[in-house]
Amino acid sequence: MIREIDNKSRKFDGLILLIISISCLLANLDSGLATDPEQCEEGTSPTEDGWTVSDGELVGAGHSWAGYDKSCGEGPLALRFKIKSLVGGLHANINVNGPYRYAVGFNNTGDGLLSPYIFKQEGETVPPSTERLPGEPVAYNQTREYQVDILSNDGHVQVFVYEADQEGRSQMPVIDYLDPDPLPSGRIDFEALEGSFVHLSNVSVICPSPGEIEPNEAEETPNLGDISFERPDLGSLV
């Protein structure tokens, strides 16, 4: 299972510096999502459970998934996105292979806090809430935009959350966990939870070279050809 660790590994110290150093580069990337009439119409908002694109943002409502087809193979992964207007909860799922995944969760508790957590799912049964490992709560204003950085390398997952206008400042992770039996690499999914609503933007993936703290690929937010929208199997996913 996953266990918490107190000291960051050297590799992740380097990855943190990498994230900070390329913030300006990513800020200059075109963050808009291109429209695809076969998927949805630009400017619309979801009227039922599902994901749409509105003003260059992914908008999720109810229990639904948006699949992202970019990953980093067997090497380190840095997934970055901005989150706004979250009501309820969101999962950013990494290393997804069928029902196997690491789920990085964010819950707007409604009391001015954003509560992060992580769990590992192996098989069809979703772990109960008692097995979801909590992170450090973050002061949260629903009207503001927040940057989320998820760093993953061989079962070591670190998560950073901070106000978007504080880009480039040194931050401590709100989640710092190590899985001694890591999941293999896999897909990335965004999952809006039951009764939730959220805006995501500036989605990007950075793939440092194995053993190096240098990016070999920086992905802009993909067009809708790289995003798939689907309803989850409510019997197996929460």
Express each pLDDT in 170-209 by its tens digit: 579 999 999 999 999 999 999 999 999 999 999 999 887 6
Q: Where are the domains of the chain?
A: 3-33+59-230
Dump pLDDT digits (tens) for 5-30.
344 444 444 444 444 433 433 333 33
Please give the Cα distance from 163 to 158 (Å, whole number). 17
List 144's β-bridge partners, or say none: none
CATH number for domain 3-33+59-230, candidates 3.40.50.300, 3.50.50.100, 3.30.1490.20, 2.60.120.200: 2.60.120.200
Q: What is the pLDDT of residue 6?
A: 42
Residue 2 in this model has a pLDDT that exceeds 50: no
Percent of the chain with pLDDT over 70: 66
Q: What is the reported pTM?
A: 0.74
Of 60 and 39, the structure prediction assigns the larger pLDDT to: 60
pLDDT of res. 169? 58
